[in-house]
Amino acid sequence: MDVELQLAVENLLSRYAHALDEARLEEWLEFFVETGRYRITTAENFERGLPLSILYADSRAMLRDRVTALRHANIYEAQRYRHTVSSTLVERHGASAVRAVSHFQAVRIMYTGESMLFATGRYLDVIRLDGSGGKPQFEEKVVICDSRRFDTLLAIPL
Amino acid sequence: MSASDPASRAWPAEGLTRVPYWVYQDEDIYRREQERIYRGATWNFLGLEAELPQPGDFKTTFVGEMPVVVARDENGELRAFENRCAHRGALICIKDRGNAQRFTCVYHNWTYDLKGNLTSVAFRRGIQGKGGMPADAKPESGAPRKLRVATCCGLMFATLSEATPPLEEYLGPEIAARVRRVMKEPVRILGGYSQIFRNNWKLYLDNVKDTYHASLLHAFFATFRLNRLSQKGGVIVGGDGGSHVSFTMMRTDTGSDEYERAGMRSAAGGYRLEAPELLETVDEIGDGISLQILGVFPGFVLQQIMNSLAVRQVLPKGVGETELVWTCFGYASDDETMTERRLKQANLVGPAGYISMEDGAATAFVQRGVRGAAERAAIVEMGGRGVGSDESRVSENSVRGLWQAYRRHMGL
């Protein structure tokens, strides 16, 4: 195993999770290359070969629109997530990219104090190692939720 | 809620302009709804025929709380029956979908055909002359109930009651025409998901029929200066009040997206979409209607939001919880560009939908808000006090239609 590569990927995933959980959504955008693809789907859709997503962007511009909408248009009760990302497997994908598969859990904590296990699943990532500023960035991130059910709404990305 | 006799529940004297809050909270009312509405004279949405293209294809779903199996039999006929074994009441089928020649209850191996007929009882005659059922036993007496199935343009509905009128009559001619408008050709399923609402099922149906809230709660279009107040549209109420369609016309100057793009960029000082291709829409039906929401009592929604097409099945999961099962689709004739457009516009809907995520929250706010006020009532007077069709969407006519149908079914 390439320990440095493993650590570089895990570090990216950790910074990604910290940004989301601290509601730094504008910084969260910077984890994607300009043409980065991001989508959230269910294991059921994925396994049946059905292309529908719950949230889908094929550029950082689309992700920025999502963040603008979450900040200024969409209405949802104050909430945050606590992500746990683990079991990351990394394999080389060409000279300057890797594929990574990780497990995640996201607990959602409402302003009322109610906490629930909101989502579990896998991240299927394609990561460019020499992204902006020499740091790794996502070319593609597919979030595959284990369950087809979502409680109330999914505002903050996973 | 304290247990109380539903018969003692009196609707407010004002009639359709009031909705008493006990209707969302009372366990006895909920039980009565299962009997009188879901197991009564209503058509309940089961899904798309396209989910079951081949003989032997099946899915499991619900009519109200009652689990059902929907299957296409050997002759291609659609069948629906209660997912409850004649023997001890266990689920007969424990898969969400698949293809089968028969169904066997795993508990004691009682077996059913695709029509829901009990075809064999394991060890009915015992083993080596010992055990088994008496010769005069009638195990089929507890057989799962069969539902009548009707389809309309690829939409599957079922009813337990012989008294339910034919489906098209139930929808009403104007609503049936609006179903045909969207379900105009064979569909291709793009995928699905479920959204759990922490509120009574009627609050979701009420929300779907409430055209008044749309531009007020859902700020996405307004924030990005996409609000087009000049748009024409209307509301049609059909059937016995339980069916409705609301629709919005595109601008009359359609034909290019330049106007829309210009409109977005002219939003000086406001927000604009950096990826406006999200909303690039083709008038694929050719009548200039850019948005159509169609709701059928007690639990069906057909949606056309630009080029995002979906069916939604509203399933009660207890007095204070509802599951909304979304299936997004396109047409079998779609090319790749059209499919990609639909997948992008799916960002508008569902649990993360730009113009739908608030619905799951707002309806739960009502459920939480009325907890101490069972004897108080909501005011539903926008657009007057009637249930007729209306050119204005600043109206609650279709909401009153819902309650008219509801009260008739419930005898309230």
Q: pLDDT tens across B292-321, in order?
A: 999 999 999 999 999 999 999 999 999 999
**Domain of residue B353, CATH code:** 3.90.380.10
Residue of chain B with shortest Cα separation from A149:
B194
Which CATH number fits the domain that encloses residue A33?
A: 3.10.450.50
Instruction: Please check whether residues B385 and B263 belong to one and the same domain.
Output: yes
Q: How far apart are CA A46 and CA A148, in angstroms?
A: 11
Q: Which residues of A touch B224 (CB under 8 A)?
A: 69, 73
Structural domain includes residue B168: no
Return the C-alpha torsion angle B294, B295, B296, B298, nearest 10.
170
The pTM score is 0.94
Q: What are the tokens at B302?
A: 């057909």
Distance from CA of A79 to the nearest CA of B (A): 12
Binary contact (A54, B360; C-beta < 8 A):
no
From residue B210, alpha-carbon distances to A73, B205, B207, B297, B393 in Å are: 20, 9, 5, 14, 9
Asked if residues A119 and A158 have their Cβ atoms less than 8 Å apart, the reply is yes
Per-residue tokens: A9: 């990927």
Asked if residue B255 and residue B373 are part of one domain, the reply reads yes
Flag whether A130 is in a domain.
Answer: yes
pLDDT of A1:
85
Give me the residues of chain A with pLDDT under 50, please.
none
User: By residue range, what is the domain housing residue A61?
Assistant: 3-145
Same domain, B249 and B145: no
B227 and B129 in a single domain? The answer is no
- B26 part of a folded domain: no
Does B34 map to a domain? no
Query: How is residue B226 annotated by DSSP?
Result: -
Kindly identify which residue of chain A lies nearest to residue B352, measuring between CA atoms. A154
Cis bond leading into B186, ω under 30°?
A: no
Report yes or no on A158 lying in a domain: no
- End position of a domain, from candidates B150, B183, B211: B150
**Domain annotation covers residue A156:** no
Measured between CA atoms, how close is A52 to chain B, in angstroms? 5
User: Do both B197 and B139 map to the same domain?
Assistant: no
- The CATH number for B127's domain is 2.102.10.10
Report the interhelical angle of B357-369 vs B201-209 (nearest 10°). Answer: 130
**A with B: how many residue pairs have Cβ under 8 Å apart?**
118
B185 and B140 together in one domain = no
In the stretch 106-145 of chain A, residues with CB closer than 8 A to chain B read: none
From the list B191, B271, B275, the residue facing A51 with the nearest CB is B191
Residue of A nearest to B272 (CA): A65
- Which residues does B contribute to its contact with A (CB < 8 Å)? 189-198, 217, 219-220, 222-224, 271, 273-275, 278, 323, 328, 339, 343-344, 346-347, 350-352, 354, 357-358, 360-361, 364
> Considering the domain boundaries, does residue B253 fall inside one?
yes
Q: pLDDT tens for chain B, 412 residues: list them.
A: 444 565 568 999 999 999 999 999 999 999 999 999 999 999 999 999 999 999 999 999 999 999 999 999 999 999 999 999 999 999 999 999 999 999 999 999 999 999 999 999 999 999 998 999 999 999 999 999 999 999 999 999 999 999 999 999 999 999 999 999 999 999 999 999 999 999 999 999 999 999 888 878 888 887 776 655 556 888 999 888 999 999 988 764 344 454 445 444 333 347 889 999 999 999 999 999 999 999 999 999 999 999 999 999 999 999 999 999 999 999 999 999 999 999 999 999 999 999 999 998 999 999 999 999 999 999 999 989 988 887 887 889 999 999 999 999 999 9
The answer as to whether A157 is a domain residue is no
In a domain, A150, yes or no: no
Determine which helix (DSSP H) or strand (DSSP E) holds B236, and give its type and residue range.
Answer: strand B233-238
Residues B202 and B339 in one domain: yes
How many domains is chain A partitioned into structurally?
1
Which of B373-412 are b and which e, b meaning 16 or more Cβ less than 10 Å from the residue's Cβ?
ebeebbebebbeeebebbeebebbbbbbbbbbbbeebbeb
Sheet holding B322-331, edge to edge: A149-151, B187-197, B322-331, B308-316, B300-305, B289-296, B243-249, B233-238
Task: Name residues 15-44 of chain A within 8 A of B (Cβ).
Answer: 40-42, 44
- Which residue range(s) make up the domain with B56? 44-150
Which residue of B311, B357, B359, B371 to mutate against A (max A Cβ within 10 Å)? B357
CA distance B10 to chain A (A): 31
- Is there a single domain that holds both residue B133 and residue B209? no
A153 located within any domain = no
pLDDT of B54 reads: 98
Contacts of A2 (CB under 8 A, 6+ apart): A90
The pLDDT value recorded for residue A106 is 98
On whether residue A140 sits in a domain, the answer given is yes
With an 8 Å Cβ cutoff, are B192 and A149 in contact?
Answer: no
Q: Verify that B132 and B182 share a domain, yes or no.
A: no
pLDDT at position B268 is: 39
Residues B338 and B238 in one domain: yes
Contact B196, A153 (CB under 8 A): no
Give the pLDDT confidence score for residue B7 in this predicted structure.
58
Let me know whether B126 and B212 are in one domain: no
Please tell me whether residues B132 and B199 are part of one structural domain.
no
pLDDT computed for residue B393 by the predictor? 77
> Which of B317, B328, B347 is the best substitution to test chain A (most A C-beta atoms within 10 A)?
B347
Last residue of a domain, one of B86, B115, B150: B150
Chosen domain end from B84, B118, B150: B150
Number of independent structural domains in chain B: 2
Angle at B384 between CA B379 and CA B386, to 5 degrees: 100
User: Is any Cβ of chain B less than 8 angstroms from the Cβ of A14?
Assistant: no
* φ and ψ at residue B372, rounded to 5 degrees: -100, 15
Answer yes or no: is A122 within a domain: yes
The closest of B311, B348, B314, B356 to B330, measured between CA atoms, is: B311
